[in-house]
Amino acid sequence: MIHKTMAFGLLTVICLSLIPIQAQKLGRRSTWEAKINGPDANVPGARISSIEPNSPLAKAGFLPNDLILEINGILIKDSNVWSDITYGLRASVKTEIKALRNGKSIERHVVFNALDKEKHEKLDTYYEEVTSAYGITQRVIITKPKKVGKQPAVVLIGGLSCSSIETYSGRRGTNWGRTIKGLVEKSNMVVMRIEKPGVGDSNGDCSTSDFLMDLEGYRSAIRYLKSKSYVDTSRIIVYGSSMGSALAPVLANEFDLAGVISDGTFFKTWYEHMLEIERRILSFKGNTESQIVEKMNQYYIPLYHGMLIQKKSYQQVIDEYPALSAYNYHDPEHMYGRPMAYYQQLQDFDLSGAWEKVKVPVRILRGTNDWIMSSFDNKMIMEVLKRNGHKDHLLYEYPNLDHWNTIHESAKDSFEGKSGEWDPGTINLIIGWAQEIAGISS
């Protein structure tokens, strides 16, 4: 039986999701225009390494080696706070900065410059907003070929991290960024992206927003895209990468989308997924099989069982079992920059069931050197689709590709952070799939 308080809360969320909410006007994001090292160990503050000439920080009198302690009264106590502050940096408003220089306090008000927006030849680029049922206004970026009539579209759903999906000028080169840029500029389709809460121009706080908040933001964006007069709603394809690849079938089912493209996906529960990752990492680090069994049983299984099954924070689990502290590389309340609630909700979410219900064409890309997502998970998806009578599905395992769209000689090289190579064949494959499903020529 559902408690009436719980039922009221569920009804409220359902009603909110049905009511169009007027988006707030979002401010434009900014950057420090400086190299700044975030907090190290348990010492607060972010130290300036270098500052660009004539930048707002330079004009305000800040110097290399200054230690920034507070931004708008918020103490920079750890890397998560620093990330939130950096993602939340906005242009054209006064930002109060408190710093230390040679043991003396410095306080200044700085107005940062707006980051240039994307520009693409032969494309219209729109920076717009949607507000989710959680009341969070998020940035939506839509690119559209310069032609009339209804056009097919791709919805891009990124991974779980708090990194931006924007390809603005000056962004440090990443192969994920190249993948986004290639999809936008070469697909000849409308492409929509949405920033997570607290990322890019979006309101909110990425380090505290959870899985359900992210999902509701994606839902709001897809509803918004389907309202556009220039979009052929019968030819909208969802392309998901990493965490987004597991959400792609969920969204395709809910919104009757035309196809699913998943890049670096998984199938099993997050508990199983994390144990598999830890086993691979132990192997990369040279542990014997007996050592791996011992460490999995004594440390990693209790650690993740406590967090994901018993719904505790890492710190609570470690307080109860101090021996785990030597094997935990996550923050007390966060994993990969997201809160414990994110993963606890994810653990309970039926991702596998969504794959089971997919009716539209499915294309899956997995790199053979992807040590984050297992080959077996991808093959399980193929088996489930086949078992349920699905007629149009394909898994392609791309030689030497890792989880970050980079070519490596081995998965261990990727794990160790060695430099790899960009292969444009990956995005060309994704674009080809999207155009095939949409029924358009390249």
pLDDT of residue 409: 97
- Tell me the sheet residues that pair with 151: 231
The CATH number of the domain holding residue 73 is 2.30.42.10
Same domain, 370 and 403: yes
Of 88, 111, 134, the one marking the end of a domain is 111
Confidence of residue 16 (pLDDT cuts 50, 70, 90): very low
Same domain, 154 and 255: yes
Q: Is residue 246 part of a domain?
A: yes
- Tell me the sheet residues that pair with 97: 71, 108
Same domain, 253 and 369: yes
pLDDT tens per residue across span 49-78: 999 999 999 999 999 999 999 999 999 998
Of 60, 87, 111, the one marking the end of a domain is 111
Same domain, 151 and 252: yes
Model-level pTM? 0.88
Judge contact between 82 and 207, C-beta under 8 A: no
Q: Is residue 410 part of a domain?
A: yes
- Output the furthest CA–CA distance in the chain (Å, rounded): 71
| Backbone Cα Rg of the chain | 23
Judge contact between 164 and 200, C-beta under 8 A: yes
Residue 270, number of CB atoms within 10 A of its CB? 24
- For all residues of the chain together, what is the average pLDDT? 91
Same domain, 52 and 193: no
pLDDT of residue 313: 86
* Tokens found for residue 256: 């009757």
The CATH number of the domain holding residue 243 is 3.40.50.1820
Same domain, 55 and 166: no
* Tokens found for residue 361: 């064409």
Same domain, 227 and 376: yes
* Tokens found for residue 219: 């839902």
Residue 272 CA from chain centroid, whole number: 20
Q: Is residue 365 part of a domain?
A: yes
pLDDT of residue 5: 38
pLDDT of residue 442: 57
Q: Is residue 21 part of a domain?
A: no
Give the structural domain span for 152: 123-268+348-438
- Tell me the sheet residues that pair with 51: 34
Q: Is residue 44 part of a domain?
A: yes
Q: Is residue 338 part of a domain?
A: no
Give the whole-angstrom CA distance, residue 75 versus residue 323. 31
Give the whole-angstrom CA distance, residue 348 versus residue 346. 5
Strand 362-367 with 259-263, pairing: parallel
Of 111, 131, 146, the one marking the end of a domain is 111
Same domain, 406 and 353: yes
Same domain, 75 and 204: no
pLDDT tens per residue across span 391-404: 999 999 999 999 99
pLDDT tens per residue across span 309-362: 999 988 899 899 998 888 877 777 888 889 999 999 999 999 999 999 999 999
Give the whole-angstrom CA distance, residue 9 versus residue 23. 23
Residue 91, number of CB atoms within 10 A of its CB? 17
Q: Is residue 209 part of a domain?
A: yes
Q: Is residue 285 part of a domain?
A: no
Same domain, 106 and 128: no
pLDDT tens per residue across span 221-254: 999 999 999 999 999 999 999 999 999 999 999 9
Residue 147 buriedness (CB in 10 A; 0-12 / 13-18 / 19+):
exposed
Give the whole-angstrom CA distance, residue 164 versus residue 194. 9
The total of structural domains in the chain comes to: 2
Same domain, 96 and 198: no
Same domain, 237 and 101: no
For residue 234, the one-letter residue type is S
- Tell me the sheet residues that pair with 157: 240
- Over pLDDT 70: what percentage of the chain? 93
Confidence of residue 7 (pLDDT cuts 50, 70, 90): very low
pLDDT tens per residue across span 359-372: 999 999 999 999 99
